[in-house]
Amino acid sequence: MSSAPPEFTIGSLYIAGFTQARAPHVGLIIPTSNQTGCLVHIRIDRATSDKWAYQCRAQPIQSDMFLSSLLKLHDISAGPITLDQLRAAATAVPPPDNDEFGECEAWMAQVVEQLHAANLIACTDVKGLVDEFHAFAIRNRTYARRDKFPNVAVSQFCA
């Protein structure tokens, strides 16, 4: 098992990218340890509506087969973002009322804007951030393995 790189810090805020067939699935995560964190994201709710639904859940970090990318948006050393603050920003952005592929990235960008508006992070360019994340995550398919820690980088657009 590969260990966490120095860019990974417990309590910091990251965009989490999950390897899928067409494009990465995207959410926001605050790690509570090297093994797990709190993930906020949207997913298609096939059981009840076939539409996007908000979800907040514990997410394995180490040993997860699909979590391949972590892009740091805010380091805990600049001040903590609580799980309640992350959930509040996430629930302020309604999930899209459709079942179209790829909506999770746009939803995540709106949550980042909420976090910025609440002065919890400083994001200089949300579109640049989304492009940066997409270019980073698309290269990380080889990290989608149980024996590799997700690839970690620090955003040039957020602090």
Segments making up each domain of the chain, as ranges: 13-154
- B/e letters for 8-42, b = 16+ CB within 10 Å, e = fewer, are beebbbbbbbbbeeeebbbbbbbbeeeebbbbbbb
Spatial distance between the Cα atoms of 30 and 154, rounded to a whole number of angstroms: 14
pTM (two decimals): 0.94
Candidates 60, 154, 156, 43; CA nearest to 108 is 43
pLDDT computed for residue 50 by the predictor? 82
- For residue 155, give Cα distances in angstroms to 54, 124, 132, 150: 25, 11, 8, 15
pLDDT computed for residue 3 by the predictor? 80
pLDDT computed for residue 144 by the predictor? 86
User: Six-digit token pair at 52?
Assistant: 């996007």
**Residues constituting the chain:** 159
Q: Count CB-CB contacts under 10 A for residue 56.
A: 16
Task: Give mean pLDDT in consecutive 10-residue pieces for the chain, a chain of 159 residues.
Answer: 85 94 86 96 82 94 92 96 97 90 92 97 96 92 89 94
pLDDT computed for residue 63 by the predictor? 84
